[in-house]
């Protein structure tokens, strides 16, 4: 019963996003929630085509719909579209080279004054953004900055973060340049019922 409630909640969330997009931002076709989860993949090559403002807004709304401890919402999101900043981060971040081809990125950050576990809430927000990107026909990939001081310093410098705001990750986003297939990550040996 608990599983069916969770699935129902996910489906309701995706339907709400789809309905809101039709009413406010235009019409975008989205996938069923479970279909979307299983279709999500890391995309690292993008077409030279900008992401529409309406879709960017939906990505951010999806991020902010994530669960958060004590409803603190410690997240902050920085949308980066300036070519110089994207190229500079691509050159300096070891696992974000694809930023040189991405038309935009969302940097997911956390306010350390609001929560000591900001990175957990921001991880949930990041997953929501990745799922929303998949649902909207976009490609995206999670590139970590936290807990690496050198990577966080690069992002802080490029986007001007104050000391109490730390970056969790940079998400390059764009339209996929080549077909990508999701990985089947199901592994029944990782499932334990009752006891380990």
Per-residue pLDDT reduced to its tens digit, 65-113: 999 999 999 999 999 999 999 999 999 999 999 999 999 999 999 999 9
116-170 pLDDT per residue, tens: 999 999 999 999 999 999 999 999 999 999 999 999 999 999 999 999 999 999 9
Place 26 in a pLDDT band, splitting at 50, 70 and 90: low
Q: Would you list the domain boundaries of the chain?
A: 41-178
DSSP letter at 113 equals T
Report the candidate in 96, 119, 106, 99 with the shortest Cα–Cα distance to residue 166. Answer: 119
pLDDT at 10 (0 to 100): 43
Residue with tokens 């966080």: 152
The CATH T-level fold of domain 41-178 is NADH Oxidase (3.40.109)
């Amino acid at each position: 019963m608990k599983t069916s409630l969770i699935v129902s909640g996910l489906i309701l969330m995706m339907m709400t996003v789809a309905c809101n997009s039709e009413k406010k931002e235009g019409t975008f076709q989205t996938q069923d929630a479970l279909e979307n989860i299983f279709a999500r993949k890391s995309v690292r090559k993008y077409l030279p085509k900008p992401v529409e403002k309406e879709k960017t807004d939906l990505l951010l709304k999806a991020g902010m719909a994530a669960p958060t401890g004590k409803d603190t919402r410690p997240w902050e999101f920085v949308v980066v579209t300036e070519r110089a900043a994207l190229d500079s981060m691509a050159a300096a971040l070891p696992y974000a080279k694809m930023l040189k081809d991405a038309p935009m990125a969302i940097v997911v950050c956390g306010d350390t004054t609001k929560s000591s576990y900001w990175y957990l809430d921001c991880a949930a927000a990041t997953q929501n953004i990745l799922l929303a990107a998949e649902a909207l026909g976009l490609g995206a990939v999670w590139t970590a900055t936290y807990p690496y001081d050198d990577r966080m310093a690069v992002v802080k410098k490029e986007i001007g973060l104050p000391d109490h705001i730390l970056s969790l990750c940079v998400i390059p986003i764009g339209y996929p340049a080549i077909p990508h297939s999701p990985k089947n990550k199901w592994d029944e040996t990782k499932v334990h019922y009752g006891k380990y």
